[in-house]
Amino acid sequence: MLARLFVFLAALRFATAQIIYPGDGSWTYKGCYNETTSLNSTGLRALGDGPAVSNSNMTVSTCLAFCKGYQYAGLEYTKECYCSYTISSQSAQTADIQCDLACVANATQYCGGSLKLSVYAINHSTKGAATRMSEKGLLGVMALGITGGLSMI
């Protein structure tokens, strides 16, 4: 009877296999990174210049929404979410298999590991980025600057 229970539990574990959530269009998975609290005397975190939250409703999407406005979002130890503009230089990318703990509120997603962060980065739009100016436009700007007037050549 006990042997059947172990077989059932093993089968159940494989039936609910976790995946690395790739991102949601606004965010992209960057990898598994080590936490830095034990690597420095200050206890500073790998993602340490933003807010953090820990709750029993944590999923990757929950963390990404919480970190809106920041460059990075990281999940650690099933239910912790950290936001930051930077990643500590002491934090290094590790093998994805080290971020091996399921999210507390979604057992199909990974939410970091013990002192390991599943890190996501915001995707930046190139919309509105500088474009190459034509020769005619450049001459017009030069004429505007030289004459101080508003006429274009």
What sign does the dihedral 106-109-113-117 (CA atoms) show?
negative
Residue 130 lies in a domain: yes
Residue 113 lies in a domain: yes
Residue 11 lies in a domain: no
User: How many domains is the chain built from?
Assistant: 1
CA pair distance 84, 11, nearest whole angstrom: 38
pLDDT tens per residue, the chain (153 residues)? Answer: 545 544 444 444 444 678 999 999 999 999 999 999 998 888 899 999 999 999 999 999 999 999 999 999 999 999 999 999 999 999 999 999 999 999 999 999 999 999 999 999 999 865 544 444 444 444 444 444 444 444 444
Look at residue 117 in the predicted model and tell me its pLDDT: 98
Look at residue 40 in the predicted model and tell me its pLDDT: 84
Residue 105 lies in a domain: yes
Beta pairing, strands 102-103 & 72-76: unpaired
Residue 12 lies in a domain: no
Look at residue 41 in the predicted model and tell me its pLDDT: 86
Residue 99 lies in a domain: yes
Residue 1 lies in a domain: no
Domain, as residue range, for 152: 17-153
Burial class (CB in 10 A: 0-12, 13-18, 19+), 40: exposed
Residue 74 lies in a domain: yes
CA proximity to 82, closest of 96, 90, 99, 70: 70
Instruction: Yes or no: say if 74 and 46 are a contact pair by the CB < 8 Å rule.
Output: yes
